Amino acid sequence: MTLDLTTSAQDMTVSQSRFRNALLDPETPAPDGLVTPEGTHAEKRFGVYRNNVSHSLASALVDGFPVLTKLLGEAFFRQMALVYLRIHPPASQLIMHYGAAMPTFLVGFPGTVHLKYLPDVARLELALRRAYHAGDAEAIAPADLTQLDQATLMDTRLVLAPAVETLTSEFPALSIWEFNMQDGPTPTMQAETILISRRGYDPVAQRLPLGGAVFVNALKKGHAFGTALGLATSQVADFDLTATLSALIAGHGIIKIEKG
Amino acid sequence: MSQVKSIAILGAITAAVAANATAALADGDQEKCFGVALAGQNDCAAGPGTTCAGTSTVDYQGNAWKLVPAGTCETMELTDGGGMMHKGSLEATKMNLPAS
């Protein structure tokens, strides 16, 4: 595939792959055939463009990972972003989802490899972003849940909002997030299971009790209430259904009650 | 399923709904927030990068390895199950860049 760059004097073509390679590697000179209106090699113009590409992508990462930026300091994060964007250039034109490979990148990046909790913080920030951009859905009136008798309830499917997902972290990922974003208390080491959802236009993250992710993910797969409850209690005998349902209701996570 | 258990389940639902009875009333506050929620994620790439503030000088030194994290990661002392500290290090970390 070629990119036509027509000048007043002559028609020249630059291959798209060479343009892209030069864009991502500052050591590579501007591709031959890239010329100014005067017919000279457009080295400087290409350099400006190249810098703006990396600057804007690094800025997108700063915007998308505010807690990582705070944890690492913006100077470090921006330098790291320049490395990231060259290994993981955008795979989609949807810039709001840029940075999806950050969790795995952080595991291998020498400057962050010792901060074992960072990948889960990145996962949480990505999940909050996905929730922000997920489809709209109106939550049920919570009282509707109390209208079902036990037999009906077990066969009923609780349909969850598109924004709903869970994150299971062996670190206090949400406490770290709250510490940096909401002046929360200093995190102490503990595993956290997190429910991500959206209330109105605002993504929210809440803690789930043990087994909560199993229950929520079963509902998300379309399993009936009774099946989801069975899966959760088989893994966690004293599974806290009240706390899990309460988080789902508070997070506007249930959008439909489908009787079996 | 035993009668006792069914009562427990319905009770759990009632409790969960009751716990949120007051929360639902607070939803009227939601709209004022939507303009600022996660700012920049609709248009984050349309900002600084489009101003041509950049120069033609190569800005990429790939020198992240000269920097160490200097944010709040230094303020947290988290250990994993094995008791190993995950606190941020002030020592310069030697690194080999992954091939791009």
Complex-level ipTM: 0.75
- The tens digit of pLDDT for each residue in B9-27 reads 999 999 999 988 865 544 4
Size of interface A-B (CB pairs under 8 A): 229
Which residue has 């009787």 as its token pair?
A259
Q: Does some domain include residue A50?
A: yes
Query: Which residues from B are below 8 Å from A70, CB to CB?
Result: 71-72
Residue in A246, A254, A257 to test binding to B, most B beta-carbons within 10 Å: A246
The pLDDT, as a whole number, for residue B68 is 76
Q: Within an 8 Å CB–CB cutoff, is residue A147 touching chain B? A: no
Rounded to whole angstroms, the maximal C-alpha distance in chain A is 80
Which residues lie closer than 8 Å to B79 by C-beta, 6 or more apart? A189, B85, B86
Instruction: Say yes or no: A72 and A155 in one domain.
Output: no
Q: Within an 8 Å CB–CB cutoff, is residue A219 touching chain B? A: no
Each domain of chain B, given as residue ranges in start order, spans 65-89
Query: Which residues from A are below 8 Å from B37, CB to CB?
Result: 132, 201-203
Which residue has 């690194």 as its token pair?
B95
Which amino acid is located at A171 in the chain?
Answer: F
Contact A115, B73 (CB under 8 A): yes
- The tens digit of pLDDT for each residue in B28-41 reads 444 433 333 343 33
Spatial CA neighbour of A25 closest among B63, B65, B60, B97: B60
Q: How far is B9 from chain A (nearest CA, A)?
A: 8
Contact A180, B73 (CB under 8 A): no
Write phi, then psi, for A35 (nearest 5 degrees): -125, 155
Write phi, then psi, for A238 (nearest 5 degrees): -100, 40
| pTM recorded for the entire structure | 0.81
The pLDDT, as a whole number, for residue A80 is 93
Q: What is the DSSP string of A155-194?
A: H-EEEEPTT-EEEEESS-HHHHHHHHHS-PPPP-S--EEE
Give the whole-number percent of chain B exceeding pLDDT 90: 10
Q: How far is CA B77 from CA A72, A171, B51, in A?
A: 14, 12, 41
Query: Which residues from A are below 8 Å from B17, CB to CB?
Result: 142-143, 145-146, 245, 249
CA atoms within 13 A on the CB side of A58: 23
Instruction: Say yes or no: A111 and A148 in one domain.
Output: no
Q: Could you list the residue range(s) of the whole structural domain that residue A193 is in?
A: 136-258
Examine the pLDDT at B49 and tell me if it is beyond 70.
no
Least CB–CB distance from B17: residue in A70, A201, A249: A249
Instruction: Say yes or no: A111 and A141 in one domain.
Output: no
Other CB atoms within a 10 A radius of the CB of residue A216 amount to: 27
Q: Does some domain include residue A225?
A: yes
The pLDDT, as a whole number, for residue B41 is 38
Residue ranges of E strands in chain B: none
Q: Within an 8 Å CB–CB cutoff, is residue A200 touching chain B? A: yes
- The tens digit of pLDDT for each residue in A79-88 reads 999 999 999 9
Alpha carbon of residue B2 to chain centroid: 43
CA pair distance A226, A223, nearest whole angstrom: 8
Query: Which residues from A are below 8 Å from B6, CB to CB?
Result: 150
Examine the pLDDT at B44 and tell me if it is beyond 70.
no
Other CB atoms within a 10 A radius of the CB of residue A213 amount to: 20
Instruction: Say yes or no: A156 and A57 in one domain.
Output: no
> What total number of domains does chain A contain?
2
Segments of chain A scoring below 70 in pLDDT: 1-12
Write phi, then psi, for A210 (nearest 5 degrees): -55, 130
Which amino acid is located at A186 in the chain?
Answer: T
Instruction: Say yes or no: A72 and A154 in one domain.
Output: no
Give the H/E segment covering residue B42: none
Q: Within an 8 Å CB–CB cutoff, is residue A102 touching chain B? A: no
Give the H/E segment covering residue A72: helix A66-72
Instruction: Say yes or no: A33 and A79 in one domain.
Output: yes
**Contacts with B, A 42-61, CB within 8 Å:** 43-48, 50-57, 59-60
Query: Which residues from B are below 8 Å from A104, CB to CB?
Result: none
Instruction: Say yes or no: A155 and A217 in one domain.
Output: yes
Token couple for A228: 């989801």
The pLDDT, as a whole number, for residue A51 is 86
Q: How far is B64 from chain A (nearest CA, A)?
A: 5
**If 0-12 CB within 10 Å is exposed, 13-18 middle and 19+ buried, where does residue B50 land?**
exposed
Q: Does some domain include residue A129?
A: no
- The tens digit of pLDDT for each residue in A140-193 reads 999 999 999 999 999 999 999 999 999 999 999 999 999 999 989 999 999 999
Query: Which residues from B are below 8 Å from A55, CB to CB?
Result: 48-49, 53-54, 59
Q: Within an 8 Å CB–CB cutoff, is residue A97 touching chain B? A: no
Q: Within an 8 Å CB–CB cutoff, is residue A36 touching chain B? A: no
CA pair distance A237, A260, nearest whole angstrom: 26
